[in-house]
């Protein structure tokens, strides 16, 4: 019998060939000065597509230089980036594996440094990040309008470059995440206060992308359902926000959590027992009850059997992974051939390697598939 993980699912008007998603993963491989796609990235994405992952989400691409989060980060901030992005999408599509590719679009907000983004970081409110020491500048209402336009233009560039869709990064304390979090959004105007106001910016972006890119270009989101901080976003608020985004056309949602200043981010170190894989899946399952759109489960999922249970049990619709695909881009093919039961990734986090992500664990064996 075919596993539920190898059955198709629709996201908007697109069909994803299986239930595996490569969660957005910054690769430190773009040109550092410009954010232009490099040959090393084409090679990486070619390998991921050869591995038959249903949906590949790129690392976060900054929509404006003020939102650059990391060295060697990919960019979608002007039209000069379109030819490189087009090569990236074509590399995935030309493998013939049927993999789809979405561009994750992002602004770092207060989680960057002047040395990276060339100015004082910006945020909904001037709330000090005690971990980095960054005190951001509060955005004016005109600047919020400008930000919305940057996201819409970045999505338009992705569409022009033949990406299949975009994912908004509203997790991990970056700008959109800091808007929906009551900890970082203390505004008293129509962009702050209750959950409706705090999430207004995201609804404006989704509506704007739909107007600019049309109904065949799905917008999905990666969103925090917890910041791991007292005074941060609650599950109830995240559920209400998710429902409001679905109403304006969101096509799918990936549930994540964490914020830099919380100490506990989204990339938890260490292996857990099989029954505890999917550390954000309970939050995703709770939110799924209020939605009709597909929900992606995430966080330390390593075993085929536990992934299958999450989908067959109706907790989530898709299985999202990042580090296992750094370790082994053809993991899905190995699962399907029955040659691999569990990713050998140790969750040691040593792949945050500033000269280009890679699995540095020489002891981790990769079975050939």
Query: Does 81 interact with ligand FMN (rule: CB under 6 A)?
Result: no
Q: Which does 299 bind (CB under 5 to 8 A by kind): ligand FMN, ligand SF4, none?
A: ligand FMN
**Of the residues 18, 25, 178, 199, which one makes contact with ligand FMN according to CB under 6 A:** 25
Site for ligand FMN in 103-122 (CB under 6 A): 104
Q: What distance in Å separates the CA atoms of residue 65 and residue 118, rounded to the nearest whole number?
A: 8
Task: Using the Cα atoms of residue 114, residue 120, residue 121 and residue 126 in order, give the sign of their dihedral.
Answer: positive
The H or E element containing residue 296 is strand 295-297
Catalytic residue among 28, 45, 174, 279: 174
Query: Does 294 interact with ligand FMN (rule: CB under 6 A)?
Result: no
Number of residues that bind ligand FMN (CB under 6 A): 24
Across the strands, what pairs with 11?
14
174 is an active site residue: yes
Number of residues that bind ligand SF4 (CB under 6 A): 14
Residue 128: how many other CB atoms lie within 10 Å? 12
Considering only the stretches 28-36, 66-74, 160-168, 339-347, report the one whose residues sit in contact with ligand SF4 under the rule CB under 6 A.
339-347
Q: Which long-range contacts (CB under 8 A, 24 or more apart) does 233-241 make?
A: 233/180, 233/181, 233/182, 233/183, 235/283, 235/286, 235/287, 237/180, 237/182, 237/195, 238/180, 238/283, 238/287, 239/286, 239/287, 239/290, 240/195, 240/196, 241/180, 241/195, 241/198, 241/199, 241/202
Among the listed residues 59, 47, 55, the one whose alpha carbon sits nearest the alpha carbon of residue 14? 55
**Of the residues 348, 356, 366, 369, which one makes contact with ligand SF4 according to CB under 6 A:** 348
**Of the residues 149, 212, 248, 346, which one makes contact with ligand SF4 according to CB under 6 A:** 346
**Of the residues 9, 19, 45, 60, which one makes contact with ligand FMN according to CB under 6 A:** 60
**Binding track over 145-184 against ligand FMN, x by CB under 6 A:** ------------------------x-x-------------
Q: Which does 59 bind (CB under 5 to 8 A by kind): ligand FMN, ligand SF4, none?
A: ligand FMN
Q: Which does 60 bind (CB under 5 to 8 A by kind): ligand FMN, ligand SF4, none?
A: ligand FMN
Choose between 111 and 343: whose C-beta lies nearer to ligand SF4.
343
Residue 10: how many other CB atoms lie within 10 Å? 14
How distant is the alpha carbon of residue 231 from its chain centre? 23
Helix (H, G, I), strand (E, B) or coil at 171: coil
Q: What distance in Å separates the CA atoms of residue 169 and residue 104, rounded to the nearest whole number?
A: 6
Q: Which residues bind ligand SF4 (CB under 6 A)?
A: 323, 326-327, 345-351, 359-361, 364
Catalytic center residues: 174
Q: Which residues bind ligand FMN (CB under 6 A)?
A: 23-26, 59-60, 104, 169, 171, 222, 256, 266-267, 298-301, 321-324, 351-352, 357
């Amino acid at each position: 019998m075919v596993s539920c993980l190898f059955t198709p699912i629709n996201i908007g008007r697109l069909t994803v060939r299986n239930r595996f998603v490569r969660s957005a993963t910054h690769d430190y491989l773009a040109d550092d000065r410009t954010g232009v796609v490099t040959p090393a990235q084409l090679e990486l994405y070619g390998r991921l597509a050869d591995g038959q992952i249903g949906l590949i989400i790129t690392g976060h691409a900054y929509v404006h230089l003020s939102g650059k989060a990391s060295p060697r980060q990919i960019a979608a901030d002007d039209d000069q980036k379109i030819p490189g992005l087009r090569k990236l999408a074509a590399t995935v599509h030309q493998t013939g594996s049927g993999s789809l590719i979405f561009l994750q679009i992002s602004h770092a907000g207060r989680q960057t440094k002047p040395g990276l983004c060339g100015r004082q970081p910006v945020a909904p409110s001037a709330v000090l990040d005690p971990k980095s020491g960054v005190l951001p500048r509060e955005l004016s209402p005109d600047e919020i309008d400008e930000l919305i336009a940057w996201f819409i233009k970045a999505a338009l560039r992705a569409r022009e470059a033949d990406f299949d869709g975009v994912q908004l990064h509203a997790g991990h304390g970056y700008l959109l995440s800091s808007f929906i979090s009551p900890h970082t959004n203390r505004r008293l105007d129509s962009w702050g206060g209750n959950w409706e106001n705090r999430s207004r910016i995201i609804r404006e972006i989704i509506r704007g992308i739909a107007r600019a890119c049309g109904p065949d270009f799905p917008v999905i989101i990666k969103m925090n359902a917890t910041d791991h901080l007292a005074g941060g976003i609650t599950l109830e608020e995240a559920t209400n926000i998710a429902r409001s985004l679905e109403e304006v056309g969101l096509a799918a949602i990936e549930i994540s959590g964490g914020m830099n200043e919380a100490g506990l981010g989204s990339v938890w170190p260490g292996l857990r027992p099989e029954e505890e894989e999917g550390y954000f899946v309970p939050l995703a399952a709770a939110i799924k009850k209020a939605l009709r759109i597909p929900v992606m489960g995430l966080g330390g999922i390593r075993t085929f059997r536990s992934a299958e249970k999450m989908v067959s049990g109706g907790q989530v619709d898709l299985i999202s992974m990042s580090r296992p695909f750094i370790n082994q881009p053809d993991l899905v093919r190995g699962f399907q051939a029955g040659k691999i039961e569990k990713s050998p990734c140790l969750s040691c986090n040593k792949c945050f390697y500033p000269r280009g992500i890679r699995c540095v664990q020489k002891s981790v064996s990769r079975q050939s598939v």
